[in-house]
């Protein structure tokens, strides 16, 4: 899939969010619940929920970020809800939450870049949102942290060298264990 082009899942998430978020006071709670619920619905009936989720996580997250952006919600503020909602939705649908962390975080960073948002702040919020979601579902937080930090740095690399340095700096000072992970990759 080419950058900026959404597939079926991404368009559904985006269009749903645009419809739901207009005029809502509690945007971020609504954003999380809407993404989570739609991910569960989209994955229902999938033969292998985890595989389907991994294959479509970029589309889902970027669609969520674009939908939030389209209604004037701060993209970087929306990242946490979109990433948390995606990962929690995968778990609620019976999939492995940790397996989609790297892709969700990476998509949040690149999706934020595509709509002109702050990549460094988005990386931090995506990593924190992913770790929170995996903690909520009782998953392997260590593996989730490694996957999230790796996804953020890889995605920042597609934006530029300055973004990689900024993301590494913010994660190493703000996320428990990130400094050790960054030294290993």
DSSP one-letter string for 74-112: -HHHHHHHHHHHHHHHHHHTT--GGGGHHHHHHHHHHHH
Q: Number of helices (H) and strands (E), helices first, in the chain?
A: 9, 0
Helix (H, G, I), strand (E, B) or coil at 171: helix
| Average of per-residue pLDDT values in the chain | 93
Average pLDDT over residues 147-168: 97
Q: Are 56 and 9 in contact (CB under 8 A)?
A: yes
Q: How confident is the model at residue 185 (pLDDT cuts 50, 70, 90)?
A: confident
Residues in the chain: 185
Average confidence (pLDDT) over 121-129:
98
Q: What is the pTM of this model?
A: 0.91
Structure confidence at residue 23 (pLDDT): 75
pLDDT tops 70 at residue 4 = no
Q: Which of 175, 164, 168, 167 is nearest to 128 (CA)?
A: 175
pLDDT band at 48 (very low <50, low <70, confident <90, very high): very high
pLDDT above 50 (res 1): no
Whole-number Å distance between alpha carbons of 164 and 131 = 20
Segment 117-137 mean pLDDT? 98
> Which whole-number Å values give the CA distances from 101 to 24, 49, 106, 123, 158, in the listed order?
28, 14, 8, 12, 18
pLDDT given at position 3: 44
Shortest CA distance to 85 belongs to which of 17, 146, 6?
17
């Amino acid at each position: 899939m080419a950058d900026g082009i959404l597939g079926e899942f991404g368009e559904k998430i985006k269009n749903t969010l645009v419809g739901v978020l207009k005029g809502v006071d509690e945007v971020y709670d609504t954003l999380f619940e809407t993404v989570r619920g739609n991910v569960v619905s989209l994955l229902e009936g999938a033969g292998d929920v985890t595989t389907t989720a991994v294959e479509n996580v970029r589309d889902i997250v970027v669609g969520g970020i674009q939908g939030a952006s389209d209604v004037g919600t701060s993209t970087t503020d929306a990242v946490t809800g979109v990433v948390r909602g995606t990962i929690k939705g995968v778990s609620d649908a019976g999939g492995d939450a940790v397996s989609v962390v790297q892709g969700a975080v990476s998509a949040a960073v690149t999706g934020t870049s595509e709509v002109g948002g702050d990549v460094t702040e988005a990386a931090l919020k995506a990593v924190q949102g992913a770790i929170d979601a995996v903690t909520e579902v009782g998953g392997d937080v260590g593996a989730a942290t490694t996957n999230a930090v790796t996804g953020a740095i890889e995605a920042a690399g597609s934006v530029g060298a300055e973004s990689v340095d900024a993301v590494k700096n913010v994660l190493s000072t703000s996320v428990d264990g990130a400094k050790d992970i960054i030294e290993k990759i």
